[in-house]
Amino acid sequence: MKKQTGFTIIELIIVIVILGLLAATALPRFLNVTDDAEAAATEAVGGGFATGISLAHARWIADGHSTGTADILITMEGSNVNMNENGWPANTDTVGAGLNDQTEEECQQIWNTLLQSPPSTSVDTGDRGKARYHISVINANPDVCRYELARVVAANPPTHRIDYNVGTGQVITTVPDLR
């Protein structure tokens, strides 16, 4: 008769313990994939938005406008954009493109006009779960439009956000460092 050979129970336990240790060290890496994806998506949308802002400003300059002339209406891809006195997009209405007194609705108009297929937005804090980004205004001098990733619980300051300074045209994307 042939003697059967196989793994002993001790060998099986050792293999299971080693696999458990490997899984315990690799699992946290896989759990951060969602956070990494949201950070990358916020950076990509912020870059696209900054490009749209710059293109509108370049159009304003190419049309021969200069600083100090308010309420200049330009057309981009068939949509009207109202520029403020510094030549940065302020809204899509035909009047009232100042550096101050920006509203959430005006920030939303710029977002929806300058981005192709823009992520959904909301200006109502009660709709945070229904839209991808929540819009608010930081009343400084000049105003800043804030586009906060709605999935992230409102932190102070928000961890995933895009800030657009209406007076300078500066777009700053902020995401947590996940390294």
* Per-residue 3-state assignment (H helix, E strand, C coil) for the chain: CCCCCCCCHHHHHHHHHHHHHHHHHHHHHHHCHHHHHHHHHHHHHHHHHHHHHHHHHHHHHHCCCCCCCCCEEEEECCEEEEECCCCCEEECCCCCCCCCCCCHHHHHHHHHHHCCCCCCEECCHHHCCCCCEEEEEECCCCCEEEEEECCCCCCCCCCCEEEEECCCCCEEEECCCCC
Close Cβ partners of 178 (under 8 Å, ≥ 6 residues apart): 32, 35, 36, 39
pLDDT of residue 5: 76
**Single-letter code of the amino acid located at 59:** R
The average pLDDT across 158-177 equals 89
> Is residue 1's pLDDT more than 70?
no
Binned at pLDDT 50, 70 and 90, residue 154 comes out as low
Pairwise pLDDT comparison (128 vs 31), residue with the higher score? 31
Write out pLDDT tens, residues 108-143.
999 999 998 999 898 886 666 678 899 999 887 788
Within 13 Å of residue 43, how many CA atoms lie on the same side as its CB?
9
Pairwise pLDDT comparison (9 vs 97), residue with the higher score? 9
pLDDT of residue 108: 92
Write out pLDDT tens, residues 10-29.
989 999 999 998 888 877 77
Rounded to two decimals, what is the model's pTM? Answer: 0.78
Binned at pLDDT 50, 70 and 90, residue 9 comes out as confident
Pairwise pLDDT comparison (68 vs 122), residue with the higher score? 122
pLDDT of residue 155: 54
pLDDT of residue 173: 94
Mean pLDDT computed over every residue of the chain: 84
Pairwise pLDDT comparison (78 vs 49), residue with the higher score? 49
